Amino acid sequence: QQGDPVEAPAFLAASYACQRNTPQPGHNTLLTAALSVLAESAELNGDEGRGLAFRRSEGLLRSLDRRVQGPAELRGLPCLGDHSQRVIQDLLENGVSSEVEETKSSPRYRAMKLLTGIFGVGVKTAKRWFTEGICSLAQLETSGHSLNAAQQAGIKYYTDLNQPVSREEADAVSVMVEGVVHSVLPGARVTLAGGFRRGKMSGHDVDFLITHPDEGKEEGLIHKIIACLESRGLLLYQQTTRNTYRESAKGAGRPSSSMDRFDRCFSIFKLTNDSSPEDTRRAQQQDPERVRVEADQTGSGGRPWRAVRVDLVVSPISQFAFALLGWTGSKLFEREMRRWAVRERSMSLSSHALYDRNQERYLRASSEEEIFAHLGLEYVSPTGRNA
Ligand code: DCP
Ligand code: MG
């Protein structure tokens, strides 16, 4: 059964995800979930190009303002390659795609998902282990491989870290982080970034961006935050990396060097209901019932706490708008914005700065709106960046 061919509204025809408004979860979750599996499978194979092609198709379908009922409705839409179209057609006609089902049940995909699900294990390491025949945590443990500190924590808290973080838990972590940050540097600002800023109801971690309105006051802040979190017993693991970002005459922040260089802490929090009397009081002022319920239900193995992945990033106020844009995501939205900048405007966008290659100068911005304006893009609010 095919739907009527419809003329795609202009905004839907936009080929860059950063030109579109993409709410969460969208009207085509059957299709986007399937394409996401194929994208992930390609990424787990180290095939970035193929992964990106599926991600772009997924992003396009996510942005549609109605449910697609027949292939004719897709006519004229960008980003949909032949392969994606075949999969979509299969799904529309049969409700299921054999390729997606085979992928999901393939030993390789399952093992790679399981192994990269360990905090601290990337695609390269997982691939090496899989080639050696390692397909489970038990096999990894008996393999004799020595694991680094992050991976050891990843194994120890595997169940917790693979259980999605809820919005309520993210809010509880926010209260903890704000309490600590304000106690070590009054006036500092804490902003929830990542998927939760985009309005997602769950995520794999909680991302925070921290700054201070007086440039320079944020220097050394990450270490004070970590020390305070540790003294309160709130950290199960942390690894801090130092800021090395400097602007260069040639324009730093090129897409090729887009790895962020902020002071950053990858951590695992111990989320309890009694992290500190002050924090608990504040949390309970917001919703006393919620805090109690969480205390009873969280954590695996019946303990009254659970492990939660938290990323803390400290940015100088002069780079804050770029950092916020970069750390809000989604990953595809960010990627597409950088691609738009280079291809359509001859500019380099990073989480630190925007460099105009024609004018050979940095363009300043104190808000995300200004960055979109510099790039000649219509502003997309965080909740519309779920490409
Ligand atoms: N990011 C980045 N550079 C990195 C890591 C992340 O610019 N080295 C950005 C892009 C992401 C955002 O930060 O959109 C948050 O990263 P996450 O991996 O936490 O992604 P999300 O928060 O979007 O997803 P999830 O809900 O799974 O946490
Ligand atoms: Mg996140």
Q: For residues 386 and 267, what is the distance between their CA atoms, to the nearest angstrom? A: 25
Q: How far is the CA of 7 from the centre of ligand 2 (A)?
A: 36
Question: Which residue, by CA, sits nearest to atom 2 of ligand 1?
Answer: 327
Contact by Cβ (8 Å): 387, 336: yes
Pick the CATH number of 10-103 from 3.30.720.210, 3.40.190.150, 3.50.50.60, 1.10.150.110: 1.10.150.110
Least confident of 270-274, 322-326, 353-357: 270-274
Amino acid code (one letter) for 344:
E
Q: Best mutation site among 241, 266, 331, 333 for ligand 1, i.e. most ligand atoms within 8 A of its Cβ? A: 331
- Is 205 part of the annotated catalytic residue set? yes
- Minimal CA–CA distance to 205: which of 174, 164, 244? 164
- What residues does each domain of the chain span? 10-103, 107-156, 168-317, 323-384
335 CB under 6 A from ligand 1? no
- Is 47 part of the annotated catalytic residue set? no
Furthest-apart CA pair in the chain: how many Å?
A: 63
246 CB under 6 A from ligand 1? no
Of the residues 207, 260, 263, 279, only one is catalytic, namely 207
Residues with CB under 5 A from ligand 2 (ion): 194-195, 203, 205, 207
Contact by Cβ (8 Å): 255, 342: yes
Mean pLDDT of the chain: 90
So what's the ipTM on this one? 0.96
- Is 160 part of the annotated catalytic residue set? no
Return the pLDDT at 246: 77
pTM as predicted = 0.89
Indicate the class that CATH gives domain 107-156: mainly alpha
Contacts 24+ apart (CB under 8 A), 100-109: 100/34, 100/37, 100/38, 103/37, 103/38, 103/41, 104/37, 107/135, 108/44, 109/41, 109/44
Indicate the class that CATH gives domain 168-317: alpha beta
Q: Tell me if domain 10-103 and domain 107-156 are identical in fold.
A: yes
Return the pLDDT at 47: 97
Tens of pLDDT, residues 145-192: 999 999 999 999 999 999 999 999 999 999 999 999 999 999 999 999
76 φψ region: left (φ > 0), alpha (ψ -120 to 50), beta (else): left
Domain spanning 323-384: which superfamily?
DNA polymerase, thumb domain (3.30.210.10)
